[in-house]
Each structure stands twice: as structure tokens, then as C-alpha cells.
Amino acid sequence: MTTPTFLDGKHALITGASSGLGWQFALTLARAGAKVSIAARSTDKLEALAKEIEGFDGRAVPVRMDVTDIKSIQDGVAAAETELGPVNILVNNSGVSALSPSHKISEEDFDLVMDTNAKGAFFVAQAVAQSMIKHGNGGKIINIASVAANRVLKQNIAYCMSKAAVKHMTAALADEWGRYKIHVNGINPGYIVTGINRDYWETDLGKRLIASLPGRRVGQPEHLDGTLLLLAGPGSDFMTGSMIEVDDGLTAHGF
């Protein structure tokens, strides 16, 4: 039976931590006892998150990291480890989307989504895994994908492609890094309310979408807490290469 602080002594790095799911992930892991490095392109909002974590006696270090820049990734991981020691848990969360009909999406938008969600996720995982292999203690890598890894989201071609890549990357890295005791798993969230999409769910279109969902509702970031803690902690020590759907039955509902 785990205690509320079963991650005491662990160092978790969370990318895309300045808002939305990343913000919630950082709070959840810090409340479970982990020291957290909170990473994003700008550290302004991260300072507020760090203060919130420090408010319940947690330890948080803001880290500047642009996941579309490999040197920035490497520098960010190095800075995090200088402050808090080797990374034991990575939450690979940075992500963007670009809504557009497929026949109109620009190369610039397509590249931004793929560079952030797929290429960026890989090189963050690589940088952290290099450290885990060097230190020889293994670790947990948690890739945040989406139900879009398995189903079509209309007018979101690059996002769907990128999240399918993250899903396959998770399996491939689990197979390759298992010998180093690195557990690589992922979460496929369904529709979750965040600051970016909150207003949409109040529109007529958003309400119609909610009415079509199995549970007639959308999730909150904290609905991912249980799965996150499972994959970050000892409960997943015999799990690797798994993608867990946290979508209130959306994937089971079919296409």
C-alpha cells in the first residue's frame, strides 16, 4: 500500500508544465513527495507554479526548455539535474495542435506540431534516458499522447499523426530500454478541460460534442492523477510499453 508521499526522494521532470495538464502533473507528483523540475519555453508562469508547490512544502525548480530545440533540451535536462540530481521520472507532456482541413494545412503549422509532439518528445526521452543509463538506476518515462493516437480528430491531421508516433515510440523505446530498467509507458487522455479549450465546451458545438460522448461529459485534469501516479511509482514496475486510455469510454465507443 503506497502512502501519499511514496515518491519521496524521486526527481520528476515535467515538460509543458506552464499550463493545463503539465501544471496538474507537477502538482500531483510534488504532493506525492517528488522533487519536480517544471519545464517550458518561458519560465514566467513556472515561477507561480513553483510557489504553489512550495506552499505545501514541495520542492520545484523552473527550467527553461524549448522541445523543438535539441540543445535547449540537453541544457534543460542538465540544469534540472544540477539542481535536483538525476531524473528518475519523466513526464513527456509538451504538445501543440493546429486545426486545419488537411488540404489547407501549411508546412509551417505541420512542422510545428510534428517537431513539438513527436520529434521533441523523442529527444526529451533520449536526453533523460542517457542520464538514466549513465547512472544505472533505471527510471520511469511517461509519454502523454491522446485518443488521437487511435482515432481521427477532424481537421487535426498533424496532431493525429504526431500522437500516433508517440504511441509507437513508447512501444519501441520500452523494447529497447527495458534492459536498463527504464519503464516507458504512456497515457491517452480523452477530452479534458484546460484553459485553452474551456470556452469551447460552453459553445453549441462543444455541447453537441459532449452529448455524443459515452458519459456525456468531459474530464478534468485531475482525472489523470491516478494513472499518472501508477506509472510514476512502484505499482508499474512490471509494466512497460503500455498505453492507458483515460477517456471515459471514448475509445471503446468506436469511430
Residues acting as catalytic residues = 159
Q: Look at residue 4 in the predicted model and tell me its pLDDT.
A: 63
Q: Look at residue 1 in the predicted model and tell me its pLDDT.
A: 32
Q: Look at residue 195 in the predicted model and tell me its pLDDT.
A: 81
Res 204 pLDDT > 80: yes
User: Strand 35-40 to strand 11-15: parallel, antiparallel, or no bridges (unpaired)?
Assistant: parallel
**Residue 197 binned pLDDT confidence (cut-offs 50, 70, 90):** confident
Cell of 189: 487522455
Pairwise pLDDT comparison (113 vs 194), residue with the higher score: 113
Q: Which residue has the cell 517537431?
A: 115
Q: Do residues 217 and 248 touch, judged by C-beta distance below 8 A?
A: yes
* Angstrom distance (rounded) from CA 203 to CA 205: 5
Mean predicted confidence (pLDDT) in 215-224: 96
Q: Which domains, from first to last, does the chain contain?
A: 11-248 (3.40.50.720)
**CA-angle at 59, arms to 73 and 194, nearest 5°:** 65
Mean predicted confidence (pLDDT) in 6-17: 97
Which residues does 66 contact at the CB level (< 8 Å), separation at least 6?
Answer: 41, 72, 73
Tell me which residue of 219, 247, 221 sits closest to 28, measured CA to CA: 221
* Least confident stretch, 71-75, 186-190, 200-204, 241-245: 200-204
Q: Look at residue 255 in the predicted model and tell me its pLDDT.
A: 57
Cell of 83: 539542481
* Angstrom distance (rounded) from CA 217 to CA 210: 5
Mean predicted confidence (pLDDT) in 101-110: 97
Amino acid at residue number 102: S
Which residues does 166 contact at the CB level (< 8 Å), separation at least 6?
Answer: 92, 117, 118, 121, 143, 144, 145, 149, 186
Tell me: the pLDDT tens digits for 139-165?
999 999 999 999 998 899 999 999 999
pTM as predicted: 0.95
